[in-house]
A and B are shown apart, each in its own frame.
Chain A
């Protein structure tokens, strides 16, 4: 497979006339765990939103398996999106549905499986994230970390090819955050999905990522890309400084 799974070419992000980031170029290979890094307010989440099709870029292209998402027809976009699983920052579980119903909804909408099979799949997905037995709880009845994991179960409902995470460990204690990292890694190994995550948690970056891009808020463009474990030694000063703080602290 020579075409990279995801390719970003000459991407410029802007709100009106205000440019957030310009000329972003990077590729993500199948099975990568890719981190979008950078300080607060540099446009990490915006980049993620443009990659998952919520926000149109000002310029440039985002290609999935060689198909330009924003130039594609509505149907192609919809079928590409079906291959995405997204975990939003606060879980974004539907508050009036139980956890089981949250995971069931995509399965019901996009597969033609019989009801009891769907139920078994939902039980498996919840078991994968360690929430077996919580099927009939409502999001308001569980903790923040559990909401994240339930959100992950919903993101995985359709066995997506690409999983996007927006700040998966925000608001979690270090141990839960570490467990979530391990879970992400296990799931990647199990399901073979490509994973794209926005984070500035340095321990997570070093624990799981094998590819990355570093967005800089001052120059408003990317200043480095590649394996964070190499960047920490060979990257530009700013990136090394950012990443080394993590090493000395953890």
Chain B
């Protein structure tokens, strides 16, 4: 293979561009910009191709630049010597004129603009979030009147997925958290010889507060993310629009069963997490700190009144609703690309954890004030 080359010949008015060698995208090639000044005073350009060896679209790219240049300056171009295929390709490239309002890439934004736009987006996001709450409430109203349409099989699937299948991870995390609580408490309580109160600390902490919090955060990452990805992908495929055009409310059909599944499952998981946490506490107290199992059991029963259990379950319900809300909201807001699905999933988890933490603080303060 010989190297691709071009040579400009002829007099100032009629120039001859001699193409030679083998042109390939895989190898370096002459640049049109280097030759164009040589056409300054030309009136006519003859393209000569008898020395041209093998070629591909690299030569077409070169000639397209030459033709554009000549077209803009009114230089007549003689293409008759070009191979048939090359001439056709060039004709094809110029067959459809470029879109007149071709747009450039969005210019890079400076820092101030970026911050400003992000704030505006955040501000505009608030009404959308409130509106979604409203839509969900309306949907629940339809459910109560028996008018909400969704597949019962979907509901059972979501209940199984969010409930039963979450058991292993919830068990593991609450067991470990229970262990940590017991150890942390025991070290302090041992100073007073009051190891028996590990039962109070772990029991109250797990059942009332941390069981719900941990379950909420696990489900935000596990189920909330999956809801956002499911709805986001449906948005990409226009499946949600298909529901709308059918006159089926996507909120009823897609969001409602997911909300119901989490609202019903998270309280149960919270209870379960509390029990596992207490067992972990008992294990630590009896094996490491010499507390009797029977004493520990009695102390736990004494510490936990019904209201603590109710508070814990109530919190779990709220977190479950918030996780489902965050996942479904972000999923429904998803854009139309693979990247958007990823962003939407991230946003769902972030929003879910944010809402859980905020509501945890608010609820704790409220219960405190109410003396519950």
Contacts and interface: CB of A to CB of B under 8 A. Distances in A.
A132 B61 contact: no
A107 interface: yes
A95 B334 CA distance: 13
A124 B25 contact: no
A135 B105 CA distance: 9
Contacts of A158: 25
Interface stretch (A55-63, A185-193, A209-217, A232-240): A185-193
B34 to A, nearest CB: 12
B88 A135 contact: no
Contact of A120 (B26, B65, B85, B100): B65
Interface in A76-103: 94-96, 98
B85 A95 contact: no
A125 interface: yes
A4 interface: no
B176 interface: no
Interface stretch (B89-97, B199-207, B281-289, B353-361): B89-97
Contacts of A159: 25, 56-57
A140 interface: yes
B56 A132 contact: no
Nearest to B32: A120
Interface of B: 25-26, 28-29, 31-32, 56-58, 60-61, 64-65, 84-86, 88-89, 92-105, 236, 335-340
B61 A124 contact: yes
A242 interface: no
A1 B336 CA distance: 48
Contacts of B26: 111-112
Contacts of B93: 124, 127-128, 132
A33 to B, nearest CB: 15
Contacts of A137: 103
A121 B25 contact: yes
Contact of B57 (A124, A136, A186): A124
B87 to A, nearest CB: 8
25 contacts: A95-B236, A95-B336, A112-B26, A113-B25, A117-B29, A117-B31, A120-B65, A121-B25, A124-B57, A124-B60, A127-B64, A128-B93, A130-B96, A131-B96, A133-B98, A133-B100, A133-B102, A134-B99, A134-B102, A135-B102, A140-B337, A158-B25, A159-B25, A187-B89, A190-B85
